[in-house]
Amino acid sequence: MSFNQAFSPPPGLTNPHVQTILSSVGRKVMVPQSVKAFLDAATEHVIEVAGVRLVVHRNTQANNPDAPLIMIVPGWLGNSRSSYVVSAALQLWRQGFNVARINLRDHGDTAHLNSGLFHSALIEEVIELARYLMTDGQPERNDLRHCGLIGYSLGGNFALRLARAIPELTTLAICPAIDPYATMRQIESSIIYRNYFIIKWRKLFREKQRHFPTLYDFGPAMKLSSVASLTDYFIKYHSEFDDTASYCAAYDLSDSALTGVSAHIVAAADDPIIPAHFYERLPETITVDLIDRGGHGAFLENWQLDSWVDRYSCRFFSQRLKN
């Protein structure tokens, strides 16, 4: 599938690192009043599923509460207020969709809600959350609403696993992490991205320890200076996995892991975190639009930092859910 929408960033925004960093950081500097109003209008829901509590922020169409629902899953250590999540949600809402911005466990200042720690293989609670949202809070029902789902990066990995578990979902994964171990090594190769994630992960560890001081002492983690070493530490002392390789294998989507799954991927050939070759061997049921430029989930099309992929998402779901 192709919408024949060529993406061509303006001068100064062609570099994939500039795209990636501005998308994540630049859009936090100046927040338009329209975005603030959208955030203020959202309702916060703490939903208990699979024995944990997860936070979702929803915006519902006042004149059409039964409009199709689009669920959005942010990337690793992102949250429901991440700039790319809010940007997509606002554009979808303006197109008449209801939207639900999901926080994974421990994400988005929710470390206090659950004593257990987040890790990327925790999919059952997210599956149950999606079913909860698709059945208007009655997950025991079998008649799932036809809903849309977007996931970014690690959230894209979650989205593809959700599509595998819930075929009724219309799923769009943006620059999804297909091979977790290789992705970790790719992040490790860049001091910029390595430090970005280390700082955010350490912050989460400190928050978790502050809320559960009798359960956790992350002092040793504060001395580690690589994503790989932090992952090794986390897996050894705070997970059920034997080692990092088995942990990564638990949510690896390479080779035949997605056989029979229907979903669509949008990715950038110049992505500095998820190289394009990860998408080459996916099953035919997974369609891929590989765009020449765009960085990691950014696709900024002007110096107002609007994202081309937001418009792409609106057209994708309008074609699939409004017919």
Mean pLDDT of 5-29: 84
- Determine, yes or no, domain membership for 11: no
Give pTM, 2 decimals: 0.94
- Which 3 state secondary structure label does DSSP give 154? helix
Query: How much is the pLDDT for 23?
Result: 87
- Determine, yes or no, domain membership for 207: no
Residue 175: name the closest of 13, 23, 6 by CA.
23
138-143 LR contacts (CB < 8 Å, sep 24+):
139/49
Containing structural domain, residue 175? 16-179+255-321
- Determine, yes or no, domain membership for 58: yes
Give the CATH number for residue 293. Answer: 3.40.50.1820
As for how many domains the chain has, the answer is 1
Q: How many other C-beta atoms can be found within 10 angstroms of the C-beta atom of residue 284? A: 6
- Determine, yes or no, domain membership for 280: yes
Residue 153: name the closest of 246, 266, 57 by CA.
266
Q: Which structure tokens are listed for 313?
A: 């998402």
- Determine, yes or no, domain membership for 223: no
- Determine, yes or no, domain membership for 134: yes
138/252 Cα distance (integer angstroms):
31
Q: Count helices and strands (H / E) in the chain.
A: 10, 8
- Determine, yes or no, domain membership for 127: yes
- Determine, yes or no, domain membership for 208: no
List pLDDT tens digits, range 110-169.
999 999 999 999 999 999 999 999 998 776 776 777 899 999 999 999 999 999 999 999
Sign of CA dihedral 165, 167, 172, 175: positive
List pLDDT tens digits, range 184-203.
999 999 999 999 999 999 99
